[in-house]
Structure 1
Amino acid sequence: MTVPTSDRPRRARRAAAEDTAPAAAPAWLPVLARVALLPPAVCYAVAVVLAGVVAALASGTTPGGEPGLGQALAVGVPLWLVAHLVPLQVTGVPLGVLPLAPALVLAVLVAGVARGAVRRLGAGGAARPPGAQHGVLVPVVATAAASHAVIGVLAAALLTPEAVVDASPALAAVVCGLLAGLAALAGAAAPCGVAVLPRRLPAWARHGLGGAALAATALLTAGAGLLLAGLLADGAAVHDVFADIAPEAGSGAGLALLCVAYLPNAVVAAVGWLLGPGVSVGLASAAPTGITSGLLPPVPLAALLPQSPPPSWAGLAFAVPLAVGSLVGWRLAPTARDAATRVRATATAAVGAAVLLGLAAALSGGRLGAGPFDPVTIPALPVALAALGWVLVPGVVVALLAVPLGDTRPVTPATPAPVPDVTPGAADTDPEPDEPTGDTGAAASGAAGP
C-alpha cells in the first residue's frame, strides 16, 4: 500500500533556503550603459526634432524629407553642445551667452537617470537600509561624467572651422563632463545617503543654508515677477520685434523657442537689476540708478531692457532685496538663543545666497559676436557682493530684534484660574469638601465610643 506524501515540507525548506541565500548581484553593465547613453541620446533626439520642425515650418516642407532630415541631423550636433553650455564659434565670431533652460532640463534628466541607477545597483539585498548604496555612487557619477565628456569631444570634432559652427573639443569635454557629473551627483545624493551629510553640521550652519536657499529663491521669484511686469508693460515692443524679424510661421516658432530657452537668463538679469549692478548688452546698460543707451540685438527679450532714464521712484526697487534680507533674518531669529549664533547663521545665509546668485549671473552672460552687442554682462562679482550686503545687513538686524535674546521658546498662554461660584445660596447647597457630613460624624462618634 502506497502512502501519499506531501511536498509542503520540501517547499518550505526551499523557501527558507531562498530567504537565507544572498541576493543575486545586480547587472552593472546594462544599468551603467543606461546612465551613459540615455541622457545624451534623448538630448540629441530632442534637438534634431526641434531643428527639423523649425526648418520644415520655415521652408514649407513636411518633416521627414531627406534634405530636411539631413539638415536637422547636422543642426542637432551644435544644439546638443549648446544644451551642455559649450561656447561656440559661429562664422568665426564667439557665441558664449548660452540658454540656461535646455541645460536645466538636461540636468534634471541626468539626475533622474542617476537616481534610478543607484537604486537598482544598490538593491542587491532586501535588508539593506536606505542610504547603504555608497559603493555605487562613484561608478554612477563617473560614468555619467565620462560619457558626456567623450560624446562632447566627438560632437565638437564633427564641427570644423570651415563649417558654420565650430567648438573646442577640450573645452567641450570639460564642460559636458562637469555638467553631467554635478547633475548625477545631485540625483544620486539622496539614495546614497549623501544628502544626510549636512545633518552633521552645527545647527546654525544648517539653518544658514536653509536661509540661503530661501534668499536665492525669493530673489529669483522677484526677478521673474519683474520680467513679467516688463513684458506686460512693453508688450507692444515685443510684438513689433516678432513682426519685424519673424513674420513667417517657421521663423516665428524658432524665435519663440529661442525666447523660452533664454527665459532663465532674463530672470537672472532682472535679479541683477533689482540688486543694483544691473545688466549690460554691449554699450547699453540698465540699472535702477541710471541707464546708458546703445544698440540692442533684435530679439524680443532684449526689447525689455529699459532705454529711457529711470523715474524718480525706481529706487523703490531696492525695497525688494531689503524685504528678502529681512525675511531671512525673521526666519533665523528663533533658531538660536544667543546673538553670536544668530549672526553666524545669517552670515552663512548671506554667503550662500551670494555664491548661488553670482554663479547664476556668470552662467547667464557671455560673448555675443564681435559687434555692438558684445558682451552680454550680468556682472557676477558685483551681483554676489550686492546679494551679500542685502541679505546680511537687514538679516542681522531683524534676527537680533525679532526675538528677545535668550528666549527662543514659544510663549504659551497661561491657563486661567477657575472662577469661584459666587451665586447666593451656593454655600448652603454645596458643603466644603473638608466639612464632615452627618454620616461621617456618626461614624466618628461610634468609633470613639466604648
Structure 2
Amino acid sequence: MTVPTSDPPRRGRRTRPEPATVTTPGWLPVLARVALLPPALLYGVAVVLAGVVAALASGTTPGGEPGLGQALAVGIPLWLVAHLVPLQVTGVPLGVLPLAPALLLATLIAAVARGAVRRLGPRAEARGPLHGALVPVVATAAAAHAVIGVLAAALLTPETVVDASPGLAGVTCGVLAGVAAYAGAARPCGVPALPRTLAPWVRHGLRGALLGAVGLLTAGAGLLLAASIADATAVHDVVADIAPEAGSGAGLTLLTVAYLPNAVVGATAWLAGPGVAIGAASATPMEITSGLLPPIPLAELLPQSTPPSWAGLAFALPLAVGSAVGWRLAPTAPDVATRVRSTVTAAVGAAILVGAAASLSGGRLGAGPFDPVSIPAVPVALAVLGWILVPGLVVALLAVPIGTSGTRRVPSRPARTEPEQPDAATEVTPDEDVADGDATAEDEDGGEVPHEGVRPGGDARG
C-alpha cells in the first residue's frame, strides 16, 4: 500500500502555469557598453578622418607621408576637441571650438544611455528611477569620459605641438557626457521633462522659452543661408585661394561643417543686436568696424561695409519670434497676472538658452589679429530677454480677451430646462436637493408644501 505524498489535482481545476522567467543582461556588460562604446567610436571616427585628410593631402603636397601612427596621434586632440576641451597649439590658445562634433557626440551618448536603461529595465524597475538604472548609467558615462579625458590630455605635451590641461579636460568631458547621458536616460526611467509639481504657468513658460530659443536660432540659420547665397562669389574665391588641392579642400570642408553651428549662433547674435566680433572686426545691424578676418568661408560672411539703411528691418525677425511666444501663451491662462508670469518665465528661459549657446560659440583664436572671436553672452542674453518679453507681453494680453482662457470647457452636467409657467404652489427644487433627501420646498408665504411627486410621509409615488 502506497501513501500519496501530495494531493493530486482535482478534476476540472486548471493548474496555473509557472511565470516565464525574463532573462536580462547583467549590469557589468551594459555599463561597460555605456562607458566604452561612445569614446571608442569617437576616437575611431577621428582617426579615420585624420587619415583620409592626410592621404588626400599627400597626393598634392610635396613630401607628404601619411601613416597610421600620424593618424592615431592626430585623433587624440580631435577627440578632446569634440568634448569642447580648450587646447594649446604651438603655445597659443585655441578656445573657439566647433559645436557640431559636440552635438553629434552628445546624441551618441544619449542614445547609448537610453538603450542601456531599456536593457536594464526589468532589473531596475523595482528599485525606482533614481535608485535603479538612471544613476548608474549617468555616473558611468560621466566617470568614463572624465577618466579618458584626463588620460588623453596627459598624453599630449608641448613637444607634440598640441597640449591640454588634464584637470580641465576631465571636468569638461565628464560634464558633457553626464548631461547627455541624463538627457537620454531620464525619459525611459520615468523622469518627466517638466515635473508635475510645477505650477501650470511655469510649465507653459518653459515651453515658451524653448519655442523662443528655437525660433531665434532658426531665424539666425535663415540669415546665414541668405548671406551665403548673396556672397557666393566671395566664398568661392576664398576656397579657391586657400584650398586649391583635394586634401586641403577636404580639410576646409570638414572645418566649415564643424563650425556651422557656431556661425548660426553668431548670426542669431547679429539679429538680436549685440553682433559678432573677430579680433578688431565687428558687425552689428547698426554699426560695422573693419578688420582682418581669418581666411575661411564662414568668416567671409561677416559684413565689412557700411550697413544699408534697411538693415534695421532685420529686427523684424526677433520681433516676430517674441510675438509668436506671446500668441502661444495667450490662451493658457484667463487672468492678467498668470499670463505675465508665463511670459516672463519664457523670456528668461530663452535668454539663458541663447546666452549659453553664445558663450560656447566664441573664445580665443591664437594670439594674433583674429583673437578673440567674441559673441558676447551677457549682452545677447539681455537682448533676447527684451525681444521675447516686450512683444510677448503685448500679444499675450491682447490676443485673447482677459477673463477667458481660449480653451473650451466641457460642462460637468447637462443644462436643465425650466418649465415655462411653473405653479407657485407646487414649485420644485433642483434635482440635487431631491437627491440629497430634501423633499419639501418653501412656498411664497414661507411654509413648506409637499414636493411634487412625493407624499407627505416621504414615500415617492409609483
Instruction: Return the alpha-carbon distance in structure 1 between the equivalents of residues 289 and 346 of structure 2.
Output: 33
Question: Residue in 2 aligned with 1:273?
Answer: 270
CA distance in 2, matches of 1:305, 1:13: 80
2:42 maps to 1:43 = yes
Alignment of 1:73-84 (within 5 A): 73-84=72-83
- Conserved in 1, the CA contact under 8 Å of 2:332 and 2:406? no
Give the distance between the partners of 1:113 and 1:131, measured in 2 at CA. 20
Q: Which residue of 1 aligns with 2:17?
A: 16
1:120 paired residue number: 119
Runs of 4+ in 1 over 4 A off after TM superposition: 12-15, 23-26, 128-134
Shift of 1:143: 0.4
> What is the TM-score normalised by the length of structure 1?
0.84
Shift of the 34–14 alpha-carbon distance from structure 1 to 2, 3 Å rule, reads farther
Deviation, 1:67, is 4.5
C-alpha distance in structure 2 between counterparts of 1:15 and 1:54, whole Å:
65
Task: Give the structure 1 partner of residue 390 of structure 2.
Answer: 393
Determine if the alignment matches structure 1 residue 244 to structure 2 residue 241: yes
User: 1:406-417 residue pairs with structure 2 within 5 A?
Assistant: 406-410=403-407
Mapped partners of 1:166, 1:219: distance in 2:
36
Quote how far apart the aligned CAs of 1:200 are.
Answer: 2.3
Residues 35/73 of structure 1: CA separation in 2 closer, same or farther (3 Å cut): same
CA RMSD across the alignment: 2.2
Please state how far the C-alpha of 1:18 moved relative to its aligned partner. 3.5
Q: Is the 8 A contact 1:134 1:193 kept in 2?
A: no
In the TM superposition, what whole-angstrom CA distance separates every residue of 1:93-142 from its partner, at most 9, and x where no partner exists?
A: 000000000000000000000011111112238xx599857521111101
Letter in 2 for 1:121: L
Distance between the aligned counterparts of 1:202 and 1:355, measured in 2? 20
> 2:279–2:292: 8 Å Cα contact kept in structure 1?
yes
What CA distance in whole angstroms lies between the structure 1 residues aligned with 2:144 and 2:276?
Answer: 36
3-state secondary structure, aligned to 2:370: coil
Secondary structure in structure 2 of the residue aligned to 1:17 = coil
CA offsets 1:222-252 (integer angstroms, 9 cap, x no match):
0000000000000111111111111000000
One-letter identity of the residue aligned with 2:32: A
Taking structure 2 as the reference length, what is the TM-score of the superposition? 0.82
Q: Does the C-alpha gap of structure 1 residues 341 and 56 become closer, same or farther in structure 2, counting only changes over 3 Å?
A: same
Q: Are the counterparts in 1 of residues 58 and 66 from structure 2 also a CA contact under 8 Å? A: no
- Which residue in the other structure is 2:284 paired with? 287
Which SS does the other structure have where 2:295 is aligned? coil
Given that residues 400 and 406 in structure 2 are in contact (C-alpha distance below 8 angstroms), is that contact kept between their aligned partners in structure 1? no
User: How many Å apart are 1:60 and its aligned residue?
Assistant: 1.7
Cα-to-partner distance string for 1:365-400 (whole Å, 9 max, x where unaligned): 000000000000000000000000100011011100
Q: Is the 8 A contact 2:55 2:66 kept in 1?
A: no
Deviation at 1:192, TM superposition (A): 1.1
Deviates more, 1:204-213 or 1:132-141: 132-141
- Provide the secondary structure at the position in 2 that maps to 1:310: coil
- Give the distance between the partners of 1:189 and 1:315, measured in 2 at CA: 43
Residue 15 to residue 148, structure 1, CA distance change in 2 (3 Å): farther
> Could you tell me whether the CA contact under 8 Å between 2:358 and 2:375 is conserved in 1?
yes
Q: Using the TM superposition, give the Cα deviation of residue 401 of structure 1 relative to its aligned residue in structure 2, in angstroms.
A: 0.5
Which of 170, 176, 188 aligns to 2:173? It is 176
- Identify which range, 198-207 or 377-386, moves more after superposition: 198-207
Asked if 2 retains the 8 angstrom alpha-carbon contact of 1:78 and 1:165, the reply is yes
Counterpart contact for 2:126–2:132, Cα < 8 Å: no
Aligned letter for 2:246? A
Given that 2:58 and 2:65 are in contact with CA atoms closer than 8 Å, whether structure 1 keeps it comes out as no
Separation (CA, whole Å) in 2 of partners of 1:40 and 1:87: 18
Give the corresponding residue for 1:436. Answer: none
Please tell me whether the aligned partners of residues 118 and 191 of structure 1 are also in contact (alpha carbons under 8 angstroms). Answer: yes
Aligned length: 395
Question: Which whole-Å CA distance do the structure 2 matches of 1:259 and 1:209 have between them?
Answer: 33
- Corresponding residue SS for 1:280: strand
The answer as to whether partners of 2:129 and 2:191 remain within 8 angstroms in 1 is no
The AA in structure 2 aligned to 1:224 is: A
| Structure 2 residue aligned with 1:318 | 315
2:93 counterpart letter in structure 1? P
1:367·1:374 contact (CA, 8 Å) conserved in 2? yes
Q: Which runs of 5+ in 2 are unaligned?
A: 1-8, 410-462
Q: Of 144, 147, 155, which aligns to 2:144?
A: 147
Q: Which residue of structure 2 aligns with residue 346 of structure 1?
A: 343
Cα deviations by residue, 1:283-321 (Å, 9 ceiling, x for unpaired): 000000110010000111000000001001101111111
1:378 matched to 2:378? The reply is no
Distance change (3 Å), C-alpha of 1:248 and 1:15: farther
